[in-house]
Each structure stands twice: as structure tokens, then as C-alpha cells.
Amino acid sequence: MSDIDVAIMGGGACGMFAALRAAQNPDLSIVIFEKSTEEWCNTQVSSGSLAAGGTRFQAAAGIEDSPQRHADDIIKVSRDESTRNLVEALCAVAPVYTEWLADALDYPIELGVDMPRGGQSVPRLHTDIGRQGGQFFVRRLRDAITQTPNIAFVDRTPGVGLLAEDGRVVGVRVLETTGEADVRADAVVLATDGFAANAELLAEYIPEVVDDYFSGVSTSTGDALAWAIELGASTRHMGSFLGHGLIVPGHGTRLNPSLPFRGALLVTAEGERFVDEHAHGYSSLGVYVRALPERRAFILWPSDVHEEVLHSELMRESERAGAFGRFDSVSEVCSALGINEATLTQTIDDFICRDIVSGSERKLTFPLYAARITSGILTTQGGLDVDLSGRVIRSSGGVIPGLYAGGGTAVGISGADSRGYSSGNGLLSACGLGWIIGEQLADGIRV
Ligand SMILES: Cc1cc2nc3c(=O)[nH]c(=O)nc-3n(C[C@H](O)[C@H](O)[C@H](O)COP(=O)(O)OP(=O)(O)OC[C@H]3O[C@@H](n4cnc5c(N)ncnc54)[C@H](O)[C@@H]3O)c2cc1C
């Protein structure tokens, strides 16, 4: 006899999407066990950019897109055909839940037509109208959870393990203030995110980022991975991660990923270009910055696009932190940031500043804005292997009955390393798999 129908471990995007969709069935009792809302989740610190192809927001902007085109773009960047079916399943539900957020949760959505990203053949990032990002997104989801009678959100109650009988998961073990307690459930959803905050696991699977700037949350310690692996779960792409090439050292803030596509110039301390500014998403750019001496580079961008790129919470945060400056001459920027002046003068002279939003091509002129940058890791993208329903696959074949996983706990859709991440893949995995799992639980499907 179960205590509840569905136990969800983790109250980020994946956990909350799974809960809200499962709760459509009023006969189900659903409990989200959350480690600590005080320490935040990655969904909360994210920019909240939702990738979806074929939405009414795109149609209104005259943009032709579809789930298939979205999926094809993702695969082109990830170079991972093995995840095609999962990618297509996620892209199919993305426009559905994006419109549901607007209609059912009154979430004010706009299409980011000014948010060009590497690998996206058309604008498809959707964001809240005020560009407040993840905090606002999470608040709206938590409000919806509070208003749903058959969901309980139990904070400061981390999961510490799974209950299993004859190879089937039958519940979870949680840590309450009074001690450990066993909760029996018909289905368990693992939504505790990845392991980027776990130094030991990072050293084992992604040693190149151990010295990178970590921009994620302290709660992503990979707890659920260990429980599922103990039960024989299979994992995939454990070396994959969402990196970043535009972290400002000392401040830890990030610059707007649109900058390289809006005409910014990227140089080394020697004042030389080291990458094609238009050829990479921000995760892939991190690979090139990471390879430089002291993982140090510089970015310079035109002052007339500055006001436009400030229209994002992360850029406003960078501004508040004093993470970039405005400079009137090449000698001023070089002496402030420590760049070789003779070479930078020549580099600027040779550089064509191309803005893919306005389509303009021109010289980079002063005054301009500039900042030091370094590489970072935001979240891991490898994890538990799942089928198209989010059921956890056993390394010996078949699935582990009663067990589902999504978001950063499950294998991502960004291939084997950080080059394969397309903007929006993180929340696509979290919201998409949460949605798919929740719908099935609502329908009463059990393994
Ligand atoms: C700085 C930053 C910016 C980003 N920007 C974007 C973006 O704009 N678009 C995009 O698509 N992706 C973005 N991402 C990636 C995206 O945020 C993540 O992929 C996504 O939020 C993961 O969702 P999740 O539900 O799996 O995990 P989370 O949102 O991290 O939620 C996991 C929850 O599980 C809880 N938990 C952990 N362990 C336990 C336990 N033992 N028991 C119970 N609960 C537990 C945590 O406290 C947390 O609340 C960004 C990431 C970062 C760090």
C-alpha cells in the first residue's frame, strides 16, 4: 500500500512541470520533496530562455519554424544522432507548454527576436516580457503549485535514497527535521538536476572544468544519480556540460550571449582574435576561452548596441557589479584591461563588425564597451539514460519499474561535450521531460 501516488524529488522546472501535469488527474496525490528553496535551483538562476519551434509568438512575428526544424538544428550542433528520438519528442511538446505557460499560468511571454544564438536558424528563444529571467519563472510555477490542491511542496526535506523491492522502485527515503522517513509511492520522479556543484564527480567526469568559474547553484550535487546507479541505471554523456565563455572574472556575472552576434570583437591579452565571433554558442565559446593562458580573454562591443543588450537581467546584473567599462580610446581600454596596444590597434583596424540583428557591417569605433572574460561551467548535461517516456533505463536492458528522471538528472540533448549545447537545451530537457512524464502519470500509465 502506497502512502502517495507520485513522489517527485526536486522542485525546479522539471519537478514542477511533472507535478503540474500529473495533477490534471485529481485522483492522484503528488508530493514534491525539495532539498532547500533557500539555496535555489538552477531554473531560478537561469535566464529563463525557453527554446520552442512553431509557437504562435513566432507566427505573430512572421517567423516560420516547426518542432522538426528545432530538432534538426539541435542535432546539427550536438552531432549526436543517438538522441534524435528524444530531441524530437522534446521539441514536439515545447510549443505546447510554451503556449500553456502563457494561457494557463498567465506567464507574460515574448519572442526574443533580438536574441540571436549560435546554431539557431531562426529566432526561437521565448522569454518573459520584462526579461527578469528564472526567478520570475520559478515564482510563477510555485504559485501554480500552491494553487493546485493535489500537490504538496515539502521544502527542506531532501531525498536521501530510493526504496526498491524486487527491482521495482516503491518509494523514497527523505530526511525530515526529526530524522529519516520512508515514503511509499507508486511512481518516483528524479528531478534533482546534475552534478556541477559536486567537486568529486566533476573531477571524475569533467576534469577540464575543475578550475573554471562555477555559475550554477549549490544544490546540484548529483544526489539522485547515485541512487539510481546503485539500482543498475545506465548513464550517458557524463562528460557533457553547459559551459560559458562570457563570464566576467572577479564579478562572476555573465555578459549577454548576443554580444558576439551583435558585432563584438573577442581578443586575447596579446590583442589578437582567437575565434570567429559568429561561429559559436556561448557554451562552445567557453572551449576556446578555456584553452587560452590563464583562461583569460577580452570582449569589446559597439556603444550603439549597448543599450539594446542591456535589456536582459544578466546584463543589468553585470552593470550593477561594474563588470564592464566604457572606453574612449584604444590606449584607455588597453591600460585599464591589460591588452597589448599595438596589436589591438591593428586588430580593430582589420575587424569588420557584423550585427546579425540589424544586418549592418562596419568598423568598430570608439567609444566602445569592454570587459575581461573567462570560461565557466553552469550545469552538467549528462545523466541517467531514459526512454521517450522519461523512464530510467537499466544498464542490463529494460527499464527500472516505477522510476522516471528528467531535467539535469537525465541525459541531456547536447551530445558528448560542451560544444554541443544549443541555447535553451537545459530548460527544454527540464520542462519537456517534466511535461511528458507528468502527462503519462496523469493518464495512469505505470511500468
Ligand atoms: C546561470 C545559468 C543560466 C542558465 N540559463 C538557461 C536558459 O536561459 N535557458 C535554458 O534552457 N537553460 C538555462 N540554464 C540551464 C537550466 O537552468 C537547467 O538546465 C535547468 O534549470 C535544470 O532544471 P532541473 O529542474 O533539472 O533542475 P533545477 O532547476 O536545478 O532543480 C533541481 C531541484 O532539485 C533540488 N534537489 C537537489 N538535490 C535534492 C535532493 N537530494 N532531494 C530533493 N531535492 C533536491 C534542488 O534544490 C533544486 O531545487 C542555465 C543554467 C544556469 C546555471
> Cis peptide before 293, with omega less than 30 degrees from 0?
no
Residues 124-142 have a mean pLDDT of 95
Q: Which of 9, 42, 258, 431 to mutate to test the pocket of ligand 1 (most atoms within 8 A of CB)?
A: 42
As a whole number of angstroms, the distance between CA 165 and CA 146 comes to 33
pLDDT tens column, 207-230? 999 999 999 999 999 999 999 999
* 28 pocket-lining for ligand 1 (C-beta < 6 Å): no
Q: Is the CB of 381 under 6 A from ligand 1?
A: no
Task: Give the pLDDT mean for 116-137.
Answer: 93
Q: Supply the residue whose CA is at minimum distance from atom 2 of ligand 1.
A: 46
**Distance of CA 13 from the midpoint of ligand 1 (Å):** 7
* Low-confidence winner among 113-122, 191-200, 332-341, 358-367 (lowest mean pLDDT): 113-122
Confidence of residue 445 (pLDDT cuts 50, 70, 90): low
Q: Report the distance separating Cα 445 and Cα 409, nearest Å.
A: 21
Q: Does any ligand 1 atom lie closer than 6 A to the CB of residue 426?
A: yes
Supply the residue whose CA is at minimum distance from atom 12 of ligand 1.
426
Residue 246 beta carbon below 6 angstroms from any ligand 1 atom: no
Calculate the average pLDDT of the chain: 96
Segment 235-243 mean pLDDT: 97
3-state SS class at 204 = helix
pLDDT digits (tens, 9 = 90+) for 14-71: 999 999 999 999 999 999 999 999 999 999 999 999 999 999 999 999 999 999 999 9
Do residues 309 and 302 lie in contact, with contact meaning Cβ atoms separated by under 8 Å? no
The proportion of the chain whose per-residue pLDDT surpasses 90, expressed as a percent, equals 93
Centre of ligand 1 to C-alpha 44, Å, is 7
Calculate how far, in angstroms, residue 409's C-alpha sits from the geometric centre of ligand 1.
9
Residues 6+ apart with CB under 8 A from 24: 438, 439, 442
CATH top class, domain 245-377: alpha beta
Are the C-beta atoms of residues 12 and 137 closer than 8 Å to each other?
no
Q: Is 245 in the pocket of ligand 1 (CB under 6 A)?
A: no
pLDDT higher than threshold 60 for residue 99: yes
CB contact at 8 A, 133 and 198? no
Query: For the chain, where do the domains classified as CATH 3.50.50.60 start and end?
Result: 4-240+381-442
- Closest ligand 1 atom number to CA of residue 192: 34
For the Cβ of 414 lying below 6 angstroms from any atom of ligand 1, the answer is no
Q: Is the pLDDT of residue 371 over 70?
A: yes
User: Looking at the predicted structure, is the pLDDT value of residue 446 above 60?
Assistant: no
Q: Do 235 and 383 touch, CB atoms closer than 8 A?
A: yes
What whole-number distance in Å separates Cα of residue 305 and Cα of residue 267? Answer: 19
Q: What is the pLDDT of residue 54?
A: 98
- CA–CA dist 210, 301 (Å, integer): 30
Residue range(s) in the chain whose domain bears CATH number 3.90.700.10: 245-377
Count other C-beta atoms under 10 Å from residue 81's C-beta: 10
Is 182 a residue whose pLDDT tops 70? Answer: yes
Contact 369, 325 (CB under 8 A): yes
Would you say residue 293 has pLDDT above 90? yes
| Ligand 1 pocket member 194 (CB < 6 A) | no
Contacts with 55 (C-beta within 8 Å, 6 or more apart), sequence order: 65, 95, 98, 99, 111, 124, 126
In this structure, the residue with its CA closest to atom 38 of ligand 1 is: 192
For residue 43, the ligand 1 atom closest to its alpha carbon is: 21
Of all protein residues, whose CA lies closest to atom 51 belonging to ligand 1?
Answer: 46
Query: Counting every residue, how long is the chain?
Result: 447
Residue nearest to atom 15 of ligand 1 (CA): 426
CATH number of the domain located at residue range(s) 4-240+381-442 in this protein: 3.50.50.60
Distance (Å) from CA 430 to ligand 1 centroid: 8
309-327, pLDDT tens digit by residue? 998 888 989 999 999 999 9
Cα 240 to Cα 284, 383, 421, distances in angstroms? 11, 9, 9
Using the predicted structure, report yes or no on whether residue 397 has a pLDDT greater than 80. yes
Pocket perturbation via mutation, ligand 1, pick of 14, 43, 212 by most ligand atoms within 8 A of CB? 43
Whether 390 lines ligand 1, by a CB cut-off of 6 Å, is no
Cβ of residue 47 lying under 6 Å from some atom of ligand 1: yes
pTM exceeds cut of 0.85 = yes
424 C-beta closer than 6 A to ligand 1: yes
Residue 393 in contact with ligand 1 by CB distance below 6 A:
no
Q: Give me the pLDDT at residue 447, please.
A: 43
Ligand 1 test: best mutation among 39, 162, 192, most atoms within 8 Å of CB? 192
* One-letter amino acid of 30: I
Reply yes or no on whether the pLDDT at 410 is more than 70: yes
The grid coordinates listed for 62 are 512572421
Rounded to an integer, the average pLDDT of 244-257 is 92
